[in-house]
Chain A
Amino acid sequence: MSITKTQTPPTTPVSVPAHPVPSRFLRRARGTLTLYGVVVLFALFTLAPIYWIILSAITPISELFTTPLNYIPVHPSLINFETVAQIVPLGQQFLNSVVLSVLSASFSVVVCLLAAYAFARIRFPGSNLLFLGLLLSGYVPTIAMIIPLFQMFENLSLLDSLQGLVILLVSFMLPTSVWIMTSFVRQIPIQLEESAQIDGANFLATLWYIVIPVLRPSIATLFLINLVTGWQEFFFPLIFSRSNDSATLTLGITQAAVNPQFQTVAWGNEAAMGLIVIIPVFLITLVFQKQIVEGLMAGSLKG
C-alpha cells in the first residue's frame, strides 16, 4: 500500500524527489487551497438559505416565478413588505416579540442567578439533588407536559396573554441557564467573597456588591442567549395565543403565507416576513458575537 502511494506518477518523473523545497511549497499551497475551498463551501452552505430569503423578500412576486432563477434581483422592491404590513399586524407582533423575549430573558437570568449563587457557594442538605433535579427536568420533552399546561392555563385564564407565555418560556430556559450560571459563579475566585465577609458583609450583600459586579459580563451573555432563544419561540405562541394580543412575529410568518388577494401561498410575503423576524436577532447575534460564543462555550466545559 504505502509503496504504491509514494511512487510518483510516470508523467512527472523529475519534480518530486529531486527538489524537496518546491514539493513542500506545493504541498503547503495545496493544503492552503483545500482549507480555503472548505471555508468557501462552508460559507456558501451556511449563507445560501439566508441569501435566498433576502432575494425572495425584495423580488416582486410576479418575478419570483421564473425558470431559470435570477440570483441577482432585477427589480428590487419593498412591495412584499407593504403587502405583509397589510395582512399581518406587524407593530403589535413586533412589540409582543420584544416584550416576550426581553421579559423571559430578564426573569430567567434573575431567577437562575439566585439559584446559581446558592448552588455554587452554600452547602445545604439536598443541594446536589436539587441541582441535578433541575438539570434533568430539562430532559423531559415539552411535548410531554403541553396538554396539562394548556388545561392549567385555561383554568387560570392565562391563555392568549403575554404573562402566560413569559411564565412558560422562563420555565423552559431555567435548566440550562442554572447550569451555565452556576459554572460562571464557580469560576469567580472565592477569595473575593471571603475577604468581603471578613469585613462583615453578609451573604446577600456579598452577592449584590461583589458577585454581581464581577459577574456582569456573564449575566449579559446569558441574557443575550436567552433573548435569542425567546425571539425564536414558536411552539408556545402557536398553542397558547388566540389573538394578536399575544401573537409573536414567529406566528405572523404562518399568517403571511396566505395572500388574500391571490388565494395562493405567497412566497414573497413569507420571505419578507422571515426577514423581518431574523433581522433583529441577526443584528444582536453579530454585534454581541463574542459574548454569545463565550456563554455557549461556558456551558460545555463543565459537561
Chain B
Amino acid sequence: MSINAIPGTAKASTMQALAGTRRRRTRLILLGYALVAPAVIWRLAIAIYPFLNTILQSFTNTSPLAGTSRFIGLGNYVRMFHDPVVMQSLSFTFLFTIVSTAAQLVYALGIALLLNRAFRGRGFVRAINLLPWAMPAIVIATASQWMFNSQFGMIDDLIARVLPFRPIWLADPTLARGVVILLDVWKNAPWAAILLLAGLQNVPRELYEAAKVDGASAWRTFYSVVLPMLAPLIFTLLIFISAYRVLAFDLIYGLTQGGPGNATTLLSYQIYQLAFNGLYYGYGSTVAVFAFLIVLTMSLIFFLFMRQSERAL
C-alpha cells in the first residue's frame, strides 16, 4: 500500500528496501497464523465442530438404541417444554446458579478481605484456602454422602451434640439442594477469593489513607472505596462463575444422583442421563442447546449490565 504513495522518482534501493520490509511483514503475518493455528484448530475440532453438531442433532430423533436418525424439526423442542423432568431440572438449575453464584461471590469476598489482613498464621490460612480448589469435586461429593448421613455422619453428629434432632439431609428435597449448593460454594469460592485478593492488592494504598483522613468507617471505606474498585472484577467473576454453574456435574453424580426424586437434577446431569443412560442423542442435544442458550443469555445480560454500570461510574 505504502509503495503506491511513493513518487516515481524514488530510488531503486528504497523500493527494494520497502519490498523487503513488505516481504518480512507478510512472513510475520504468516508466522502469526502458524503460531495460533494449533490452538485454533484444536478448539475448532474438539469444541466448535461438535457444538455445531449438537445444534444440528437437536432437530433429529437420533438414538443408537432405536436406530433412528431422522429430521423432526422442532419436535424435540416442543417435547422439552412439556417434559416435567426437564422443566424441574431447569428450575433447580436457575436456583442453583443464582444462589451458588451469589454465595460464592460474597463468601469469596469475605475470604479475600480476611487474607488481605495482617495476622499470625496468614501463610497457613492462604495455603489451606487452596485445598478445596485442588480437591476433585467427585471426592468431596462421595465424602459428603456419608458426612451428611443422618445416623453416622459428622454434620448430624455435631448438630445432635447441641440440638436434639438429626436432619435427614439427602432425603429431603430442600435440604439436599442446600447441601449441593453449600458444597459447590465450599469447593469453588476459594478460587474466586484468590482473584479478588489480587484485586484488593491492586487498590492503591493512598485511597485507604484518604478515606481514613476523611474519617470514614471501615464499612464505609469498603462500600465507597474498595467495592467500586473491585466492581469490574466482580462482574467478570459473575459472568464466569454463573456460566460454569451449568457445567456442575461431578457433585450431583457423586452425591445425590439427581435425587431425591429429581430435586437436585441440574441440566447437565439431565443431559447426561438422556444421552448416556437413555441413549436419546437427539433429545439430549436439544436440552444441551437449551442449556447453552441459558448460559449465553445470562452472560449477555450480565455483560450489558456491566457495560451500563461502567458508564455510570
Q: Residues of A with Cβ closer than 8 Å to B?
A: 35-36, 38-39, 42-43, 45-50, 52-53, 56, 64-69, 111-112, 114-115, 117-119, 122-125, 127, 130, 133-134, 137, 139-152, 167-168, 170-172, 174-175, 178, 203-204, 228, 231-232, 234-235, 238-239, 250, 253-254, 257, 265, 267, 270-271, 274, 277-278, 281-282, 284-286, 289, 292-293, 296-297, 299-301, 303
Contacts and interface: CB of A to CB of B under 8 A. Distances in A.
B128 interface: yes
5 nearest A-B residue pairs (beta carbon): A148-B53, A171-B46, A124-B32, A297-B198, A118-B35
Contacts of A235: 249-250
Nearest to B294: A141
Interface in B72-128: 111, 114, 117, 119, 121, 124-128
Given A235-B250, A250-B138, A297-B194, A124 B46 contact: no
A33 to B, nearest CB: 11
A253 B232 contact: no
A47 B152 contact: no
Contact of A143 (B135, B249, B281): B249
Interface string B44-68: 0111111101100100000000000
Given A36-B119, A39-B121, A134-B43, A253 B291 contact: no
A297 to B, nearest CB: 4
Nearest to A270: B142
B292 interface: yes
A52 B198 contact: no
A278 B291 contact: no
Nearest to A249: B136
Interface in B135-155: 135-140, 142-147, 151-152, 154
Nearest to B196: A300
B36 A232 contact: no
Contacts of A289: 126-127, 130
Q: Is the interface of B mostly helix, strand, loop or mixed?
A: helix
B39 A178 contact: yes
8 contacts: A46-B131, A46-B186, A50-B135, A122-B28, A148-B54, A152-B50, A232-B138, A270-B143
A67 B233 CA distance: 46
Interface in B148-189: 151-152, 154, 157, 160-161, 186
Interface in B243-287: 243, 246-247, 249-250, 253-254, 267-268, 271-272, 275-276, 281, 284-285
Contacts of B250: 234-235
Contacts of A299: 195
Contact of B138 (A39, A253, A282): A253
Interface string B205-226: 0000000000000000000000
Contact of A137 (B48, B125, B199): B48
Given A39-B125, A115-B39, A141-B247, A49 B140 contact: yes
A144 B53 CA distance: 10
Contacts of B121: 39
B39 A144 contact: no
A254 B254 contact: yes
Contact of B285 (A147, A168, A172, A296): A147
Contact of A147 (B54, B132, B249, B253): B54
B130 A140 contact: no
A112 B130 CA distance: 24
Given A65-B152, A67-B151, A144-B51, A122 B31 contact: yes
A143 B139 contact: no
A238 B247 CA distance: 15
A32 to B, nearest CB: 8
Contacts of A139: 243, 295-296, 299
